[in-house]
Amino acid sequence: MINTINKIETKILFLDKDNLLSHLNKYDYIFMITHKKIEELITKSMFCDFQYKTIFIDEGESTKNLSTIESIINELALFGCNRNSLVIGLGGGVVSDITGFIASIYMRGINHILIPTTLLGMVDAAIGGKTGINFQNRKNLIGTFKQPENIYIDLSFLDSLDNKEILNGFSEIVKYGLIYDKNLFFELVDNFNQLISLQNIDKLKEIIIQCYRFKEKVVAKDQFDKGERMILNFGHTVGHALESYYKDEGISHGDAIYYGMIVESYISYKIGLLKIYEFKKINKFISSIQKFEIKGLNIDKLLNYIKMDKKQSIAQNRFILLNGIGNGVIKNNIEKEIIKEALDKI
């Protein structure tokens, strides 16, 4: 065990055979939810000393649906999963959202652990206990809150990850820097290429722990997403709108969030929360990251998507902004003209 940080109920550990075995020994049956492709990456030596039943699910966002849940429950029931069984989610955010949801409803709740295999999973999706599946084209419309017992991190999973997926995960790390930790942000600016090409794994490990600590702290104050947790949505109000707008062109979540962070930083500058040189620094850095090219944007249409964002209330708009780099704040009632001007920065 390299590192342990106490959380609400969850611990984050770096994966090794001993810590995993001692955890798993207390369960009758173990079930692992994963994708075929990821199971092939498992080093057999890590998992060879215990018996588990693997349940494969398809890859991709479209797998997060009720029929996947039904088929997993069928398998769990068929193979005798009981309240003293454990479910392991081995994969990215799709696997962790599904695994957490299953663990929260099967027999009114059984224990689960997560082994995130994407960077986004390690710094975001596995942390905080939100689970979700999509329903009738609406993302995460159905979901629960269920904390995993432990989260096990193994950075070697990142070796096989596409560069696009690494950049996707980094968008959330940049977000943490901007809303929470100025030094982290400047560290990313200075070392970005080295970090995204996985040339400095020790530094990346430190950064993952920092992100975990930050999210854990926010979640501990607002486990059920009623207030403070909204801060984690910096870049996401505009980002989610861009994801809906360019859904058919295939914009990634990370790319949409990068653009969202530029727009929301500009709004922060316009209402006097951020200095112009701070905005310029953010804009220059994020603009230098290779990403989806935005073309033919109709700002009024995008504004309609922004209104549909989950965090908006009927009466007033709501944005997460920056009161200086490293300090996220929630603000309501931003003038439409300022939002439009900011969207022009895309």
Ligand X SMILES: NC(=O)c1ccc[n+]([C@@H]2O[C@H](COP(=O)([O-])OP(=O)(O)OC[C@H]3O[C@@H](n4cnc5c(N)ncnc54)[C@H](O)[C@@H]3O)[C@@H](O)[C@H]2O)c1
- Please report, as ranges, the residues that interact with ligand X according to CB under 6 A: 35, 37-38, 41, 59, 61, 64, 91-95, 97, 117-118, 120-121, 124-125, 128, 130, 132, 140, 157, 160-161, 165, 168
User: Up-side HSE of residue 111: CA atoms within 13 Å toward CB?
Assistant: 17
Q: How far apart are CA 9 and CA 149, in angstroms?
A: 7
The smaller minimum CB distance to ligand X, of residues 113 and 161, is found at: 161
Phi, psi for residue 4 in degrees, rounded to 5: -130, 135
The smaller minimum CB distance to ligand X, of residues 27 and 145, is found at: 145
The smaller minimum CB distance to ligand X, of residues 11 and 130, is found at: 130
Residues 6+ apart with CB under 8 A from 241: 260, 302, 305, 306, 308, 309
Residues 6+ apart with CB under 8 A from 158: 118, 119, 166, 198
8 A C-beta contact, residue 178 and residue 258: no
User: Which among 210, 204, 158, 152 has a CA at the least distance from the CA of 16?
Assistant: 152
Angle of helix 182-196 relative to helix 201-221, nearest 10 degrees, comes to 140
Q: How far apart are CA 31 and CA 90, in angstroms?
A: 10
Q: Which helix (H) or strand (E) holds 217?
A: helix 201-221
The smaller minimum CB distance to ligand X, of residues 131 and 268, is found at: 131
The smaller minimum CB distance to ligand X, of residues 125 and 273, is found at: 125
Residue nearest to ligand X (CB): 93
**Shortest separation between residue 125's beta carbon and ligand X, angstroms:** 4
- Residue showing tokens 């017992």: 149
Question: SS3 of 317, please?
Answer: coil
Q: How far apart are CA 136 and CA 113, in angstroms?
A: 28
The smaller minimum CB distance to ligand X, of residues 58 and 190, is found at: 58
The smaller minimum CB distance to ligand X, of residues 145 and 186, is found at: 145
8 A C-beta contact, residue 150 and residue 23: yes
**Shortest separation between residue 10's beta carbon and ligand X, angstroms:** 13
